[in-house]
Amino acid sequence: MSANIYVTELSASRHTFHRHHFCRGNSNRRKSRLGVIEKGYGSYIYLGKKLDVREGDVVFIPENVYCYSEWHGTPEIEVTYISCFMHHERYKYVPQTIDVDERTKGDILQIARLLSMGEGEQLEAYSMFYHLLGTVLRMLRESEIVFDKTLKMAIEYITTHASEQFSIGELAKNCCVSESTLYHLFSRELGQSPVTFLQSIRINYAIDYLENSNYSISTISQMAGFPSENHFRKVFRDFTGTTPLKYRKGR
């Protein structure tokens, strides 16, 4: 491990979901994340691969790979992350679980707690985090990753305009490639079509509305970007195994 390494913008976040949740990846200024799966189970999808995680796992998600996730709980899902930008000349990793002991898991959660406190505690969190990195970096698997710039452009367009109506042809034109090239890129790098990726983003919006609003199913369908309510119901069942109304009532 090179001695020339430092981190910036260390922060913590705790995510609590109910039953099912889809987390779209953040393609703008995404940080590296070290997380503890406290409840539930899920999958991180990246570069056409899938990393399955379950309660008790510690996961590392690097900032140089676009990655999104899908979660399930019985009923609760809880994940705590500590995140930062890592400045390291040999920084090439893939999303992965890390086999650490209970003490290390406790340190991750303690750092997250300290970061939510005052300035003195935050300094202590940085000190603990650097010590933690000494253990974690030696355990990480490195990988030569090349992320396609066209795919990144397409993902950013989809995540920004998901609630709007546009065709895959229009998406391809915006990315200055053919529609077939775009389908090939998504299949190769994410293991799915751009249509499926777009639908998953829209379903995430719909789930948020179902959980946190009193909008009708018809209105949610429109707000999430689906062309019709019937289409929304079909896609929702495909992703979640239930209907929007049953999902709302089951919470």
Per-residue pLDDT tens over the stretch 102-116: 999 999 999 999 999
Q: Is the pLDDT of residue 120 over 50?
A: yes
Fold classification of 5-139 (topology level): Jelly Rolls (2.60.120)
Which of 74-83, 92-101, 137-146 is least confident?
137-146
- ∠ Cα 16 39 26 (to 5°): 50
Q: Is the pLDDT of residue 27 over 70?
A: no
Nearest to 105 by CA among 54, 1, 34: 34
What pTM value is reported for the model?
A: 0.70
Confidence of residue 25 (pLDDT cuts 50, 70, 90): low
Mean pLDDT for the stretch of residues 196-208? 88
Per-residue pLDDT tens over the stretch 30-47: 789 999 999 999 999 876
SS3 state at 87: strand
Mean pLDDT for the stretch of residues 65-77? 85
Q: What pLDDT sits at residue 230?
A: 96
Question: Which one has a higher pLDDT value, 151 or 183?
Answer: 183
Return the structure tokens found at 5.
């390494």
Q: Is the pLDDT of residue 94 over 90?
A: no
Confidence of residue 147 (pLDDT cuts 50, 70, 90): low
Give CA–CA dist 103/109, Å, rounded: 10
DSSP code string of 102-149: HHHHHHHHHHHHHHTS-HHHHHHHHHHHHHHHHHHHHHPPB------H
Give CA–CA dist 185/175, Å, rounded: 12
Where do the domains of the chain lie? Answer: 5-139, 149-249
Provide the mean pLDDT of the chain: 88
Question: Which one has a higher pLDDT value, 96 or 152?
Answer: 96
Fold classification of 149-249 (topology level): Arc Repressor Mutant, subunit A (1.10.10)
Q: What pLDDT sits at residue 1?
A: 44
